[in-house]
Amino acid sequence: MQTYTHALGGVAAGISLFPDNHLAQAACAISSVAPDVISALQFFVDKLQGRKAFSKETKGRILLRSISHSFWLLLTVIIASVLTGNDILIALCVGAGSHLVIDILTHKGKEYQATGQKFFWPLNVNPFGVWEYRYGHGIFRPKPFEFIVVLLLISYISYCVYSHLAVCLARCVFLFGRDTTSI
C-alpha cells in the first residue's frame, strides 16, 4: 500500500492502543512507515537521475528491504520490548507490525517475486498474499480498494479523536462545574 495508508494504519493502531500516551502514538505512526524508507530513497534517487522509478534494482537494496520487512527482526524487537515493558518500544513494534501485516496481505504478484522483499528473510519464503494492490492508477493515487481502506481509517481516527475530545470536555465541565466552596 501507499506510505500514507501505512501511516494512517499506524496512527489508528497508536490511538487505539495508547489513547493517553501521545509519544507512543507518534512512535507507532513513525514506525509504521519506517520499513519503506529504503524504497522511498530509491524512488527519489531514480527520479533525480532521470530514470523510471525502481527500474534499476540492486541486490543490496533488495537485501535492505528484506531486512527492514523481516518478520524475524520484528519478532526480536517484540521480545525485547515485552521484556523491558517500555511503551515506546511496544509502540514501535505495533507500528512496524501493522506495516508488515498490510504488506503481507497485499504483495501477491508473481512479477514482484524476484525484486520484492522477503518477509521471512533470510528464508526465501513469501507468505500467501490475498491480493495484489499495485495495478491501476499512478504511483501516488490510491487504487479503488486502497481508497476504501483510507476512508475507513480516516473515519476511525476521526471517531477516536472526537471521542477523546468529548471525554476531555466532559471532565472539564465536571471539574469546573463542581461547587468548590463546600470543600
Residues 61, 124, 39, CA angle at the centre, nearest 5°? 25
Half-sphere exposure of residue 96, counting CA atoms within 13 Å on the CB side? 24
pLDDT per residue, tens digit, the chain (183 aa), is 778 888 899 999 999 888 888 899 999 999 898 888 887 888 888 888 888 776 777 777 777 777 777 777 777 777 877 788 888 888 888 888 888 877 777 766 555 555 456 666 655 665 555 555 555 545 556 667 777 888 888 888 888 888 877 777 777 777 776 655 555
Q: pTM (2 decimals)?
A: 0.71
CA distance 131 to 144: 13
CA distance 133 to 105: 9
